[in-house]
Amino acid sequence: MAPVEYAVAVDEYLGQAALGEASRRVYRISLTGWTWPLVGKPVPEAAERRGAVPPVVPLALLDDPAAGGRLRGALAQRAGRADARTVNRELSALRSAVGWWLDQGWITADPTAGLRHRPLDGLAAPLDAAQVEELLRLPVGLREHSFWRLLHDSGAPAARVLALDADHLDLQRHRTWARPGDLPGAGIAWQEATSQVMRWLLAGRTSGPVFVTGRRAAARAGDRCPVTGQARMSYRRAAELFTMLTRPLDPAGRGWTLHQLSAAQKGTAA
């Protein structure tokens, strides 16, 4: 049954998300911050916001045609008060949660559609075709190569890709399986060549997380490979590795971000 309140939906999303405790806390703060604009109220200033009680928001408000406009206004206002990385992180948190709620059938519209991340300094724009080709030629492990290809092909948020389990993948049709309650278009799709790489990565694994850590680790049963005991790879670790491994490709020496890859030009991962 779909939760009635936004706050309960946030709890459910965070309960299943492949996030560390620190990232989970940051996501909760970010998701809570969107409650004020969803009911048409201004977000309290930083000092006031710490002790402010967020409004009660019916989850159904996300299906309100006016919700997108409210969020767009709040995003513009937030951009005038916080740095671009903070604003983009808060928007990414909302997009990831909304994507999961759509998958559950709890909402039927995406109020974040059309909202854009703020430009950062340097090479923060989406990667172009040449940059993606350079990226996919890097001598990295099969896990990283598979993750990057799937992220680029699908254009899905990184957190959503990391949350995939082996039995979610339909590698014959190059997409995720449709599940009971899914809305049309709720799944993600990719190219045939990426399905082949995913077959190599899974090597017969039929359940458990698609992308796992390099060692055995304590984790909830749903976040642990039943064959190897390896835990689901966290967003934080995936982002750190991506930035570190792409520093040689970045003229500024900072490395690229996962968002730049998922938003990159399509059609280059042949």
User: Which tokens hold the place of 225?
Assistant: 């490979």
Mean pLDDT of the chain: 83
DSSP letter string, 193-217? HHHHHHHHHHTT--SSBSSEEEEE-
* CATH architecture of structural domain 129-262: Orthogonal Bundle (1.10)
The domain spans of the chain are: 6-104, 129-262
- 3-state DSSP assignment of residue 40: coil
> Strands (DSSP E) along the chain, which ranges?
169-170, 175-176, 212-216, 230-232
Q: How large is the average pLDDT for residues 77-89?
A: 77
pLDDT band, very low/low/confident/very high, at 268 (cuts 50, 70, 90): very low
Residue in the block written with tokens 């190219």: 191
For the stretch 151-197, pLDDT in tens is 999 888 888 899 999 999 999 999 998 765 555 556 789 999 999 99
Q: Which residues contact 106 (CB under 8 A, 6 or more apart)?
A: 2, 3, 9, 59
pTM given for the model: 0.55
The confidence score (pLDDT) of residue 121 equals 52
Residue in the block written with tokens 């492949």: 18
Distance, in Å, from the CA atom of 125 to the CA atom of 127, rounded to the nearest integer, reads 6
Residue 198 pLDDT > 60 = yes
The confidence score (pLDDT) of residue 79 equals 76
Distance, in Å, from the CA atom of 66 to the CA atom of 35, rounded to the nearest integer, reads 14
